[in-house]
Amino acid sequence: MPDPKAAIVAYEAAAANGDAKAIHAMLSERSKKALKVADVERMVADERAELAAEAKALADPGAMVRGSARVRYADGEDATLDVEDGGFRVSSADGLPSAARTPAEALEQLRRALARRSYAGLMRVLSPSTRSAVESDLRSLVDGLSHPEGLDVQVSGDAASVQIQGGHFVKLRRDGAAWKVEDFD
């Protein structure tokens, strides 16, 4: 794994000297596509003192360097790895609990949990109050269905409905010889 200190020293020197070409050369390929050399030259000309001060702060002995990597699999799932103690450690992976650092990350976790049809994954991304409400509703539905033979089921041809204690309502439909739950709340 490369040492980031060399990049910090090179960036500090380029910023202090106002060397836009050197700064552009240090950019990632993605950043180079977004910023032309002329764009970086304009920024350096406008903000040379500020860039030099920021670069100097990066070289401060108290500055902390953190590294991370995001691995995206072909099926859209991903894992985030952070550098700790000289090696990569899994900080989040689909199926493992993690803390979303942005709303977009929270939405991505929701998407992945739903795509996997993972009840446990869904519960992990919900807020404590929402998780509690969902679990309470499900518990109430389970309790209301504990003795289905005693429920007052209203049958009309191939459709049926039943009001369950706890305020739940279930609709059923006959599919050939079998009854299937069509909807519930």
List pLDDT tens digits, range 47-85.
878 887 887 787 777 777 777 788 877 666 677 788 777
Top-confidence residue, 24 or 123 = 24
Read off the pLDDT band of 95 (50, 70, 90).
low
pLDDT of residue 76: 66
Q: How far apart are CA 155 and CA 170, in angstroms?
A: 12
- Nearest of 46, 43, 42, 54 to residue 16 by alpha carbon: 54
Interval 140-162 mean pLDDT: 93
Instruction: Name the residue with tokens 């998780």.
Output: 131
Top-confidence residue, 18 or 95 = 18
* Helix (H) / strand (E) containing 182: strand 178-184
Interval 96-122 mean pLDDT: 79
- Nearest of 161, 169, 1, 175 to residue 81 by alpha carbon: 1
Q: How far apart are CA 172 and CA 161, in angstroms?
A: 6
Instruction: Name the residue with tokens 């030259």.
Output: 41
What contacts 118, CB < 8 A, 6 or more positions away? 95
Of these ranges, 6-15, 102-111, 171-180, the one predicted with the greatest mean pLDDT is: 171-180
CA neighbours closer than 13 Å in the CB half-sphere of residue 81: 10
Say if residue 179's pLDDT is above 90.
yes
55, two tokens: 């670069």
Say if residue 45's pLDDT is above 90.
no
Determine how many CB atoms are found less than 10 A away from the CB of residue 57: 11
Read off the pLDDT band of 6 (50, 70, 90).
confident
